[in-house]
Chain A
């Protein structure tokens, strides 16, 4: 059942178009898995009946605002407050336990207050997802290591959070070292041609979205979407039946070429803060695969690669080393110009990159999602979140995380955003996302007429996985 609960769009504005498209996701998949028409049609009907089940954050917030549910709101407030005031820093294990305990507590309380007490299982699940998204959105700066490090500094971080950052850096360094490798170095069967690169780029783009969202569930959806695109490629080359043998090398390749920052921190964040009952089966499989693939890359050495021509490989390796050397020198010059870089010096490349690029932590889409719960903006008033503001910043540096600060400062203006404005903004952002999907697809299928690609996108509601599937079929 759990698959029916999942929808493949972290935006989840709950519009009817999204719901229809989600139904498509499910039925399309089952078409490809089973050849028995009876089952397929059963599944389809099933999926349609289950429409209500898809996660819809807005609906949840609607119920949450119900006066009858006020105690639930107060419990949540109280928890968030305690979490951020009782201690400046919890270890990751402590956070995991506290947050899990609270979820169990509040899920249990659902049975006492209307309208939650009258919910069926599907609606309850939606409400549980809603709570998780709400609290993790609020606690993100305290729980997601790359943001936390900016508040606390690496020296004061607990072991676990610190290791996330160090592991991110080790992975990043290996990726830089082997960025030039090709599919055949990873034993990808030669049935797959080189034009595949373009398709894999799209999978990489999808994986990059993991940094656009704060909720563990939304991050998980990005991973699943990435894997889904990889499988549509494999299906196209009739290799999907080889299962993990063909999937794992492509996943590794996508990670190496995808340029995703903080992948390890993201994986750890999902592991720690996704409610354990939700992190099961297929989700867990693909999260473990991603974890396995990142471990593989972190420990990558030449002996793990298939090298057909030593000389060519050696040259590519050298060229890449030179590029890295040049990059390091440039970075050093830059930081010399900037003067003291204090604690960033002893952290690896990716951390510096992250600081230079303030866009890393979340996209505006997620900002909007959190502004929808503007009723919660008073949570942290007078609380440690303000330390971010009062903490002395080195004078010449730009605020390290402007976005984060903006969220906290603009509570009032977000409050004033009425529903209409919000919907408008969300719509505009969806439009932008669609445009981006279109552009990538044009790039992937240069031989197909653009109008055709657009038509298919509209028909398939811009679900990247299915669009690629359909277009690949046409392509042949």
Chain B
């Protein structure tokens, strides 16, 4: 089973935790794991993989480990602890609050500056579309087109959702899973070619050894 780390970013009032709660609640899943509480959740999704010729769709299970972050401005400095080694980031804003998109933009910028990994998948989500229905359009402060254009320019995935009624939620995670799976497939293909060059990874720069442990060590009193 493929496993990916997904970090959740966004202002505290945008409902980022609700998105994940909704996602987890609406999924049927045997592999759900969380023994402590709702800040860390894990959830699997199943996607279809078609081979290069487009036939024989095969089911692939992808497991997300979802790392929530504190959205309050003052805890911003904790975020790097959470997004290091992340495979994906879900950056959430609230379509009824214009400045929440500004916050989201600054998260995207920070991720682009601080995360080395080019393959990091960033998904921009506009939450709370349930508040701006056809009868009540005034509440919307961020036009879909504005966010969409910004996302396209910056190579982000994008959609609008409602954590409240579940609209679009499953699709967000499915798209991320598909994208990550795609990336992983490509990486595996390249790795197979350079298998020798990637063999030396291990424990970083320290190169030190003790003599091999043995069963007849003269310094050991009982051997």
Contact = CB atoms under 8 A, between A and B. Distances in A.
- Are A and B interaction partners? yes
Contact of A105 (B16, B208, B213, B217): B213
B153 interface: no
A33 B211 contact: no
B68 A244 contact: yes
Given A83-B210, A381-B221, A295 B65 contact: no
Contacts of B12: 245
Given A33-B32, A289-B81, A240 B223 contact: no
Interface in B51-100: 65, 67-72, 74-75, 77-78, 81-82
A382 B213 CA distance: 19
B216 A74 contact: yes
**Residue with the highest number of chain A CB atoms closer than 10 Å, among B36, B75, B222:** B36
Interface in B198-220: 203-204, 206, 208-217, 219-220
Interface residues of A, number: 72
A154 interface: no
B34 A85 contact: no
Contacts, number: 176
B114 to A, nearest CB: 15
A245 B213 contact: no
Q: How large is the interface on B (under 10, 10 to 19, 20 to 34, 35 or more residues)?
A: 35 or more
A286 B72 contact: no
A292 B220 CA distance: 43
Interface string B36-60: 1111101000000000000000000
B71 to A, nearest CB: 5
Interface string A137-161: 0000000000000000000000000
B143 interface: no
Contacts of B215: 70-71, 74-75, 78
**Residue with the highest number of chain B CB atoms closer than 10 Å, among A26, A29, A97, A231:** A97
Interface string A187-228: 100000000000000000000000000000000000010011
Contact of A282 (B25, B34, B209): B34
A74 B218 CA distance: 11
A285 B40 contact: yes
B170 to A, nearest CB: 17
Contacts of B42: 281-282
B213 A76 contact: yes
B189 to A, nearest CB: 26
B82 A288 contact: yes
A6 B35 contact: yes
A100 B214 CA distance: 17
Contact of A100 (B77, B203, B212): B203
A402 interface: no
Contact of A85 (B69, B216, B219): B219
Contacts of B34: 3, 29, 33, 282
Nearest to A288: B81
A315 interface: no
Contacts of B17: 241-245
B219 A101 contact: no
A293 interface: yes
A94 interface: yes
Given A292-B78, A299-B77, A29 B35 contact: yes
A247 B39 contact: yes
A244 B20 CA distance: 12
B182 interface: no
B18 interface: yes
A388 interface: no
Contact of B30 (A6, A42, A382): A42
A94 B82 contact: no
Nearest to A248: B70
**Residue with the highest number of chain B CB atoms closer than 10 Å, among A3, A75, A244:** A244
B217 A248 contact: no
A3 B221 contact: no
A238 B33 CA distance: 20
Contacts of B208: 90, 94, 97-98
Contacts of A187: 72, 74
A212 to B, nearest CB: 20
A81 B217 contact: yes
Given A77-B222, A241-B17, A281-B42, A231 B36 contact: yes
A102 interface: yes
B33 A245 contact: no
A96 interface: yes
B32 A247 contact: no
Contacts of B40: 281-282, 285-286
B175 interface: no
A286 B67 CA distance: 10
Interface in A239-288: 240-245, 247-249, 281-282, 285-286, 288
B213 A82 contact: yes
| A-B pairs, 4 with minimum CB distance | A231-B37, A292-B78, A243-B17, A78-B217
7 contacts: A36-B28, A81-B220, A228-B36, A243-B38, A282-B33, A282-B35, A291-B81
Given A3-B33, A245-B12, 7 more contacts: A29-B35, A39-B30, A78-B213, A82-B213, A248-B70, A289-B81, A295-B77
Interface of A: 2-3, 6, 25-26, 29-30, 33-36, 39, 42, 70-71, 74-79, 81-83, 85-86, 90, 93-94, 96-98, 100-102, 105-106, 187, 224, 227-228, 230-231, 234-235, 240-245, 247-249, 281-282, 285-286, 288-289, 291-293, 295-296, 299, 304-306, 378, 381-382
Interface of B: 8, 12, 16-18, 20-21, 24-25, 28, 30, 32-40, 42, 65, 67-72, 74-75, 77-78, 81-82, 203-204, 206, 208-217, 219-223
